[in-house]
Amino acid sequence: MWATYNYANFPTVYVTISGCIERPSDFTHFIDQWLQLFNNGTDYNLYFNTVNCGYINIKYAILMAHKIKQFKKKKYRNLQYSKILVANKSILILLRLIFYIESPLAPVEVYYEKNNSIVSQHFESC
């Protein structure tokens, strides 16, 4: 499984992303789990750990931006904020691409380890 959701500390949901998207159903499962959180109607926060994430095809970044746009059209408002831990520069670049194409649903803080220090980048929702 590419993305694993942990609901033990709800309303904070921890999402661990590891390995690569091996088939489209991996990405679909990730989106379906996220939709369940929206449909639940309860406010929540997401903490993504991408430290063990492998290569991600750019098409999934574009799909993610498209999904965010769809979520906005449905007026999902219960995501309060997200934090994303990144250790791979290519993942950071894909995140920047996603938020360039479509601003996030809620504020996002990205933490990237660079030269043994943490660099933080903030993305605002529109």
- Total number of domains constituting the chain: 1
Q: What is the largest CA-CA distance in the chain?
A: 41
CATH label of the domain that carries residue 38:
3.30.750.24
Averaged pLDDT, 3-12: 97
Q: Quote the domain boundaries for residue 20.
A: 3-123
CA dist., res. 82 & res. 28, Å (int): 20
Structural contact between residues 122 and 107, judged by C-beta atoms closer than 8 angstroms: yes
The answer to whether the CB of 82 falls within 8 A of the CB of 106 is yes
Question: 45-89 pLDDT, tens per residue?
Answer: 999 999 999 999 999 999 999 999 999 999 988 999 999 999 999
> What pLDDT band is residue 117 in, cutting at 50, 70 and 90?
confident
- The pair of three-digit structure tokens given for residue 32, joined into one six-digit string: 């379906």
Q: In this structure, what DSSP letter does residue 8 have?
A: T
Backbone angles phi, psi at 40, to 5 degrees: -65, -35
pLDDT-derived band at 126 (thresholds 50, 70, 90) equals low
